[in-house]
Chains A and B, each alone.
Chain A
Amino acid sequence: MSDSLLITTITLAYLLIVLAVGLRARHNQSSSLEGYVAGGRHMGLLVLFFILGAEIFSAFAFLGAPGWAYSKGAPALYIIAYLALAVIVWWLIAPYISRLGRRHGFLTQAEFLSACYPTRGNLLGLFIGVVSVLAMIPYLTIQIAGAGLLFEAATSGTIPFWLGSLLACGVVAAYVYASGLQGIGWTNLLQGVMMVGVAWFLGLATADQFFGGVGEMFRELQREAPEYLTMPGAGGMGWGAFSTAILVSALGCVMWPHIFMKFYSARSERTLKQVFVLYPLYSYLLVPLLIIGFAGVLLLENSPLDSADRVLLTLVVELADFPAWLIGIALSGALAAAMSTAANLAHTSATILVRDVGQHLPVLRGISDDKALKLTRYGVVVISLAAYLLALANPGSLVGLLLGAYGIVVQLLPMLLGALFWRRASRTGAFAGLAIGAALTLLFQFGVSTPFGWHAGFCGLVVNTVVFISVSLVTHSSSSYSPAQALSSKG
């Protein structure tokens, strides 16, 4: 059997196993919308840990992160920093959100915020729903395109891009359609273990094969190109840009709807906290992947890559002397990272489309739980298909939409924290902060350059918070409860 055929066979076998595990999980599922979307609010420690870990670590972990180490060096550590620090925000707010979700039947992020800040016709909910979906579909497209790219490179073109992305997308859509969060749970467990194992193996084996070990590799890098090993790195990323990128990404991470909505699915607040205790250890997954990027600096010194994102593939598939079966397993691990994230994005976007956006259409107002469930499942298929077609068209052009829409979603953070912790938080203040913060973020993202090279979203957050606080203080308020507390005393 030729090498690329063997790689293809192993990878297809892996996809089949994922599909089987995902479809089998449908038996554990109750037939309610709550069961499909939030696992009946009954997910346990092990499964929830891997859902959260595997959804956060996406195709970016295997493509973009080594690419950062390869092209920029030390600034790539921002990825480890923010992914670990994100847990602090979760720790502070998630148990409470979970509790209110259970009490009031919330399933989406928009439902939570619009209950805290009621608007006429629930316009806030519609706005959040639309912007979230606009951020998530490009993100999903990038995962599917990443899967196609991985397939094509690892099988040396035996499986072309269109087919590879179709296979990954089809498997994901099938098990999410059939099994909802239960399907995502069990497959993410499998995919999570797979990606951690593959990442560590590849990192250590690559360093060992070319340099005789990780320490030896960094010694050589210290002699040849020491600028990669400390700030500001090879690309000259300043401390301001580095630090604000870490802060805004760590704070904003919680606002991704597919992460936020998982808080509702925990069996108990204690389970949620156990997941968070273990979570920082998951971010060690990036260490071996960054090592591969650093190895690329030395190994590709004479033939630099046009696209830094391909550094892992180039090293593992072309330069290293790994047997074909091992490359098949490595490809499966990298695909696991892309697919486990894609599954959550498709699942969450469909839920938001039906719950937050759909309820504004006259035909869907007040539909039954059964019908909403059916629509959500169709939504998964439609969204996956749309993302696949976008992946074929030109995924690169979607990055702007992703940054813009997600930039706005992050600006919901001050009003969320205000709703939870601050009794003076006022609706007027929250909306004023959101409007100005979002406008400023977009302006910085696509127009003007930011002061001191700070992250655009960070500048938006700072101004947003200042406006929110000052307007709220000016607005008269006699409440002795924060908006979220007032909610629970009513309920």
Chain B
Amino acid sequence: MKSRPSLPPRGLLIYFTICALAMIWPGALVANRIEPMVIGLPFFMFWYVAWVFALFVGLVIAYRHDAAQEVNDE
């Protein structure tokens, strides 16, 4: 019976952790500057915009992984 909450594969868990650490101390320390400005935004602000996108990409991959697994299960 499929009653266990299935954790995503370890690689994705690590990826999610990196996304989180990038947005707080200590990860965000490296981005704490104004230059270079990217798409009109100061670098620190751009950093957050970019990591939100990285998170989105990670979720797309996780979703595709899950979908493939469901097919295998059937």
Contact = CB atoms under 8 A, between A and B. Distances in A.
A276 B59 contact: yes
Nearest to B27: A243
Contacts of B32: 230-231
A236 interface: no
B24 interface: yes
25 contacts: A81-B51, A85-B19, A85-B23, A88-B16, A88-B20, A91-B62, A92-B8, A95-B5, A96-B5, A214-B41, A215-B40, A218-B40, A218-B42, A230-B34, A230-B42, A239-B24, A250-B20, A270-B70, A277-B56, A277-B59, A277-B60, A278-B56, A287-B49, A485-B4, A489-B1
A283 B23 CA distance: 14
Contacts of A218: 34, 37, 40-42
A284 B41 CA distance: 13
A273 B20 CA distance: 19
B60 to A, nearest CB: 6
Interface of B: 1, 3-8, 16, 19-20, 23-25, 28-29, 32-34, 37, 39-42, 44-45, 48-49, 51-53, 55-56, 59-60, 62-63, 66-67, 70
Most chain-A Cβ atoms within 10 A of its Cβ — which of B16, B40, B70? Answer: B40
A242 B24 contact: yes
B54 to A, nearest CB: 9
Contacts of B49: 80, 284, 287
A229 B63 contact: no
Given A280-B55, A287-B45, 15 more contacts: A81-B23, A81-B48, A84-B55, A87-B55, A88-B19, A88-B55, A213-B40, A214-B41, A230-B33, A239-B25, A239-B29, A242-B25, A277-B60, A283-B52, A485-B3
Interface of A: 74, 77, 80-81, 84-85, 87-88, 91-93, 95-96, 213-215, 218-219, 222, 226, 229-231, 239-240, 242-243, 246-247, 250, 270, 273-274, 276-278, 280-281, 283-284, 287, 290, 420-421, 484-485, 488-489
